[in-house]
Structure 1
Amino acid sequence: MAGGRAGSLKDPDVAELFFKDDPEKLFSDLREIGHGSFGAVYFARDVRNSEVVAIKKMSYSGKQSNEKWQDIIKEVRFLQKLRHPNTIQYRGCYLREHTAWLVMEYCLGSASDLLEGK
């Protein structure tokens, strides 16, 4: 593979998965709304158009950093292909300080709310 190890940002196929902008300049009013083993999910507002979004922050530093990075690449590739009116829309992914910011359409409730019939 060109550019070193698998999943390197030097690989154009990997680099194109991520926006180059600084997400801290694009999103404001971040408030944590959920937490899991992967990291945390935040409510936020896109400063460019005032759209409310959900941001899942996933760190890829520390233990098993390569495995975490590979999982992020897989998730971004999957989300980019997912296009259906009944799924949450993917807005893009940004990188900052060894953390991926996966930006999604914001929806009230959660998957567990749906399963419980709320």
Structure 2
Amino acid sequence: IARAGSLKDPDVADLFCRDDPEKLFTDLREIGHGSFGAVYFARDGRSNEVVAIKKMSYSGKQTNEKWQDIIKEVKFLQKLRHPNTIEYLGCYLKEHTAWVESLTNIYYKICLLNINTFCCIFH
């Protein structure tokens, strides 16, 4: 019997994509960092689209709490539907790090975040 909340729990396992994110995403460039992890611009090799990747580690101290936060965030993002928010595309796991992929009105949001970052990324 799988422990609730573990990756062996089918309800939890279904939240995550099975692909290796390091093989899917290229040109990662960090654009922000917060208490939950770093956010990157990247290129999705399948579609060639520019996407945002949020990397969240669930190792070290408070591993279980971090893992539960990731599960909550993924469930929330799956339900989120609004034109002024990101479009959740999927979550991947690699070496105790969750990679949350999203698509957004990228150029508008970049300008709001930091015009200098925009210039560095798209020059």
Does the TM-score normalized on the shorter chain lie above 0.5? yes
Aligned partner (choices 34, 41, 44) of residue 43 of structure 1: 41
Q: How does 1:21-60 map to 2 (within 5 A)?
A: 21-60=19-58
Unaligned runs of 5+ in 2: 115-123
TM-score scaled by length of structure 1: 0.87
Q: Which residue of 2 aligns with 1:116?
A: none
Identity %: 76
In the alignment, does 2:107 pair up with 1:109? no
- Alignment RMSD, CA only? 1.7
Tell me the matched-pair count. Answer: 111
1:62 corresponds, among 60, 63, 71, to 60
**How big is the shift at 1:86?**
2.5
Higher helix share: 2
Alpha-carbon distance change, 111 to 78 in structure 1, aligned in 2, over 3 angstroms: farther
Structure 1 position 102, deviation (Å): 0.4
Q: What is the TM-score of this pair, normalised by structure 2?
A: 0.84
Stretches (4+) displaced over 4 A = 110-113
